[in-house]
């Protein structure tokens, strides 16, 4: 048995949207590429290699460079954004950001979509607005109700908080290999291979990182950017609501604990019609009938005040999703 990743167990779960979180360097992207080539050779089924932005695709001039040795008798070529096997069109390279303009494009032979690096690390290009919805819409464009296309999304364990898991409201159980929502047709695989880990640990680099946080991430999929700091359930003493927030797809409220002089943000939300301010990030989410809604602008005085509470260590969040969303807002204002 190979020490490198295989998507076969995940695909046996029979879901449309398949997310893989696995060892860095464990062969996730390579396995998707190999699967796509074999499907084309055996059944003539095409594939799409998907990235978030065109700038991520532009540097790729030979998509098959790392896998050509596995298929020595075949001619594997990339010509611009098209991928050919033995002279026949086998695949397409597509930027998700451009897919709204591709809705009229037919892809009758495509049955596999490979979305690489679906989890972004800080400092990288940002997630697209409504990214999971864009992926769903592109899936619909490709599959056209044939009910035979699958999406394979590969990523490293950067953060459990990302738009995809939040959108589907499916989060991986790190104690299980598969977390599945049959109705939503979503499956998340949390994968690592002990043999691969042992091989990597034996290298000089592996020995160097073994006792540090990066080693836990690299070897064991411990989410690199997720810590439990500032995560705490709101106690009964925090019962005075100050503000509400509508941030992208999430709705939140901020509560004050007068007794202990600290603050909590959680997912409690209600239409209040003037009882307390509701800050809204996107103008499209404003409700004309709710006069308590205020468009959240850069350098807003309330957000500055909340940032001070955070810097003092007096602000807590009910979970990682809430924490990371407010970190994103507070630390960029």
Helix axes 301-312, 320-330, angle to 10 degrees: 120
The predicted structure's pLDDT at residue 97: 96
Closest CA to 139 of 184, 96, 76: 96
Cβ(201)–Cβ(210) below 8 Å: yes
- What are the C-alpha distances in Å from 232 to residues 239, 286, 310? 15, 30, 13
The predicted structure's pLDDT at residue 226: 54
The predicted structure's pLDDT at residue 224: 47
CA dihedral 315, 317, 134, 54 (to 10 degrees): 50
Closest CA to 109 of 148, 77, 156: 148
For 170, the token pair is: 């499916």
The predicted structure's pLDDT at residue 292: 82
Give the whole-angstrom CA distance, residue 106 versus residue 108: 6
Q: Which residues of 272-288 are buried (b: 16+ CB within 10 A; e: fewer)?
A: beeeeebbbbeeeeeee
Domain positions in the chain: 8-220, 240-330
pLDDT digit string (tens) for the chain, length 333 residues: 565 788 999 999 999 999 998 766 667 889 999 999 999 999 999 999 999 999 999 999 999 999 999 999 999 999 999 999 999 999 999 999 999 999 889 999 999 999 998 988 765 678 898 899 999 999 999 999 999 999 999 987 766 667 888 788 888 877 788 999 999 999 999 876 556 555 555 567 556 645 555 444 444 445 545 556 688 899 999 999 999 998 876 889 999 998 888 999 998 887 765 677 888 888 888 887 777 888 887 678 888 888 888 767 788 888 877 887 787 776 554
The predicted structure's pLDDT at residue 325: 79
The predicted structure's pLDDT at residue 217: 43
Give the whole-angstrom CA distance, residue 21 versus residue 177: 10
| Superfamily per CATH, domain 8-220 | P-loop containing nucleotide triphosphate hydrolases (3.40.50.300)
pTM confidence score: 0.68
What phi-psi label fits residue 313: left (phi over 0), alpha (psi between -120 and 50 degrees) or beta?
left
Cβ(59)–Cβ(31) below 8 Å: no
């Amino acid at each position: 048995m190979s020490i490198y990743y295989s998507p076969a167990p995940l695909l046996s779960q029979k879901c449309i949207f398949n997310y893989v979180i696995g060892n860095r360097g464990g062969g996730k992207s390579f396995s998707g590429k190999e699967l796509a080539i074999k499907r084309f050779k055996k059944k003539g089924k095409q594939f799409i290699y998907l990235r978030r932005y065109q700038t991520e695709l532009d540097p790729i001039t030979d998509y098959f460079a790392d896998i050509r040795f596995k298929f020595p008798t075949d001619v594997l070529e990339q010509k611009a954004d098209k991928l050919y096997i033995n002279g026949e069109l086998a695949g397409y390279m597509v930027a998700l950001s451009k897919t709204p303009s591709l809705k009229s494009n037919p892809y009758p032979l495509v049955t596999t979509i490979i979305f690489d690096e679906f989890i972004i690390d800080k400092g990288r290009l940002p997630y697209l607005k409504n990214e999971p919805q864009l992926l769903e819409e592109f899936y619909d464009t490709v599959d056209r109700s044939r009910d035979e296309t699958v999406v394979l999304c590969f990523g490293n364990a950067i953060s459990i908080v990302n738009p995809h898991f939040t959108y589907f409201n499916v989060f991986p159980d790190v104690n299980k290999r598969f977390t599945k929502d049959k109705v939503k047709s979503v499956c998340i695989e949390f994968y690592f291979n002990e043999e691969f880990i042992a091989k990597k640990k034996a290298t000089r680099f592996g020995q160097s990182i073994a006792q540090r946080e990066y080693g836990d991430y690299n070897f064991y999929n411990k989410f690199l950017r997720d810590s439990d700091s500032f995560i705490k359930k709101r106690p009964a003493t925090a019962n005075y609501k100050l503000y509400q927030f509508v941030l992208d797809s999430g709705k939140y409220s901020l509560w004050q604990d007068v007794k202990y002089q600290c603050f909590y943000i959680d997912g409690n939300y209600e239409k209040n019609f003037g009882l307390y301010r509701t800050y809204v990030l996107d103008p499209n989410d404003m409700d004309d009938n709710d006069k308590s809604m205020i468009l959240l602008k850069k350098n807003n005085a309330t957000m500055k005040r909340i940032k001070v509470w955070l810097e003092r260590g007096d602000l807590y969040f009910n979970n990682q999703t809430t924490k990371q969303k407010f970190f994103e807002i507070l630390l960029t204002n």
